[in-house]
Structure 1
């Protein structure tokens, strides 16, 4: 599993949690939003490596 697949899986899980949390007025929606944001950050920083050895 590469970074892109992992990030997309996190975003999909986050979307499911957002929908579930919204439909049941459950705080799981906040976790879903956090997972979506984490997935976007992973996609955005994918392939960037710091300069060094």
Structure 2
């Protein structure tokens, strides 16, 4: 597991609060998309993190 990945326990706590619906993200990629957002705010998209 890398720094940006959530553990299964963390994901179980977060998943019910994320919007999935008519205009929301695709459910099959929701975890990847959320981890991307976490990475973006944690690193500020620094070059060394790419």
Q: Which has the higher helix share?
A: 1
The TM-score bracket by the shorter chain reads 0.3 to 0.5
- TM-score w.r.t. structure 2 length? 0.37
Computing the radius of gyration from Cα coordinates, the structure with the larger value is: 1
